[in-house]
């Protein structure tokens, strides 16, 4: 048994909220570089340069990359041998988000669905907790903006729709989204499970570093094919025309019911923000 005081959780979450919003991963910047080499639209190249420059300013001056500092989505891998003391895990995480969004001068963007009254402190956060072997806690904070989230969908395909059905739906979704999710996007795809699990897989797939391959060769192939089709749509950076509509398509899959074929598409804008830590 290893004792961990929840105060430490609050501190770490606070820091992760601020870092994720100001420091864009090196893998994303390299993805911009790769895109610039292939982009045929001069305006598209200018936009990609602007995004790189923006990331540099944000990191250097410690200011948010984007004004939509997002819904705080927190993934926790809690070791079974950890004994949390000093309070409640969920409360500690919420307090970390509260502090991070205040101390980091981040935008408070959470409201009541009906009245639209702002909750004032960017809580509640969304917390996904998984119990794992061991005595460590791994936490990832991945702020998720509203624009790209609004373009995301879950659908229950028919098993006979097959892989072609998946490609059709994903490409069509990107096409219909147009410029709204701030292309170039990263397309998270969840296949299988249940209705809600497919959506969770799609969100989780967005944590993958850009430039990485899917360990499953069949899915890796499918990811490439869908990405190629997407980039033939011509939507381009910021939807102003070009060959870089998406930087990656990432798939997570698990078994599903014999009568079902769930599919979720979680669109992520170019500001793929996530930071992690291990206690």
Partner 1 sequence: MNQPIRLNPPLSDEDVEKLKIGDRVLINGVIYTGRDAAHKRLSDLLKDGKTLPFDIKGQIIYYVGPTPAKPGQVFGSAGPTTSYRMDAYSPSLIERGLKGMIGKGMRSDSVKEAMKKYKAVYFAATGGAGALLAKRVKKAEIIAYDDLGPEAIRRLEVVDLPVIVVNDVRGNDLYIEGERRYRKG
- CB-wise, 212 or 232, nearer to partner 1? 232
Task: Name the 3-class secondary structure at 277.
Answer: strand
At which residue do the structure tokens 């891998």 appear?
77
Alpha-carbon distance of 157 to 162, in angstroms, equals 8
Which residues share a beta bridge with 77?
A: 130, 138
Interface residue with partner 1 among 3, 33, 40, 91 (CB under 8 A) is: 40
- CB-wise, 122 or 214, nearer to partner 1? 122
Alpha-carbon distance of 140 to 269, in angstroms, equals 18
Confirm or reject binding of residue 143 to partner 1 (CB under 8 A). no
Interface residue with partner 1 among 233, 260, 276, 277 (CB under 8 A) is: 233
Interface residue with partner 1 among 67, 112, 255, 258 (CB under 8 A) is: 67
- Helical residues (DSSP H) of 104-257, grouped into ranges: 146-149, 162-177, 195-205, 217-230
Closest contact distance (angstroms) between CB of 34 and partner 1 is 18
Number of residues engaging partner 1 in binding (CB under 8 A): 46
**What does the block give as tokens for 19?**
């870092």
**What does the block give as tokens for 191?**
């296949």
Query: Which of 54, 49, 42 is closest to 240 using CA atoms?
Result: 42
- CB-wise, 87 or 241, nearer to partner 1? 241
At which residue do the structure tokens 């793929």 appear?
272
Contact segment (CB under 8 A) with partner 1 among 55-63, 71-79, 154-162, 205-213 equals 55-63
Confirm or reject binding of residue 234 to partner 1 (CB under 8 A). yes
Confirm or reject binding of residue 72 to partner 1 (CB under 8 A). no
Task: Name the 3-class secondary structure at 198.
Answer: helix
Q: For the window 175-214, what string marks contact with partner 1 as x by the rule CB under 8 A?
A: ---xxx-x--------------------------------
Radius of gyration of the chain (CA): 19
171 — phi, psi (to 5°)? -65, -40
Contact segment (CB under 8 A) with partner 1 among 2-10, 52-60, 194-202, 253-261 equals 52-60
Contact segment (CB under 8 A) with partner 1 among 4-12, 43-51, 74-82, 254-262 equals 43-51
Closest contact distance (angstroms) between CB of 188 and partner 1 is 17
Confirm or reject binding of residue 274 to partner 1 (CB under 8 A). no
Interface residue with partner 1 among 80, 212, 221, 232 (CB under 8 A) is: 232
- State the burial class of residue 194 (Cβ atoms within 10 Å of its Cβ: 0-12, 13-18, 19+): middle
At which residue do the structure tokens 């048994």 appear?
1
Contact residues for partner 1, defined by CB under 8 A: 40-43, 46-47, 50-51, 53-55, 57-58, 61, 63-69, 105-108, 116, 118, 147, 178-180, 182, 232-236, 238-243, 269-271
């Amino acid at each position: 048994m290893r004792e961990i005081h929840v105060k430490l959780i609050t501190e770490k979450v606070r820091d992760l909220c601020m870092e994720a919003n100001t420091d864009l991963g090196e893998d994303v910047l390299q993805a911009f570089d790769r895109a610039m080499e292939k982009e045929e639209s001069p305006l598209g190249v200018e936009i990609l340069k602007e995004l790189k420059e923006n990331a540099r300013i944000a990191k250097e001056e410690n200011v948010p990359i984007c004004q939509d500092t997002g819904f705080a989505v927190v993934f926790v891998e809690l070791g079974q041998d950890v004994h949390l003391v000093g309070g409640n895990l969920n409360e500690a995480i919420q307090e970390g988000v509260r502090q991070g969004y205040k101390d980091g001068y981040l935008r408070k963007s959470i409201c009541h669905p009906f009245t639209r009254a702002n909750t004032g402190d960017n809580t509640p956060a969304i917390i996904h907790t998984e119990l794992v072997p061991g005595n460590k806690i791994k936490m990832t904070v991945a702020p998720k903006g509203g624009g790209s989230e609004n373009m995301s969908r879950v659908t229950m395909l028919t098993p006979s729709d097959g892989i072609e059905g998946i490609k059709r739906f994903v490409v069509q979704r990107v096409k219909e989204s147009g410029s709204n999710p701030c292309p170039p996007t990263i397309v998270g795809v969840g296949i299988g499970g249940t209705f809600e699990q497919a959506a969770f897989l799609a969100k989780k797939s967005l944590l993958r570093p850009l430039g990485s391959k899917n360990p499953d060769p069949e899915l890796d192939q499918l990811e490439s094919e869908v990405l190629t089709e997407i980039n033939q749509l011509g939507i381009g950076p910021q939807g102003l025309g070009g060959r870089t509509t998406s930087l990656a398509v990432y798939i997570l899959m698990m078994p599903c019911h014999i009568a079902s074929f769930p599919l979720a598409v979680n669109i992520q804008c170019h500001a793929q923000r996530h930071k992690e830590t291990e206690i």
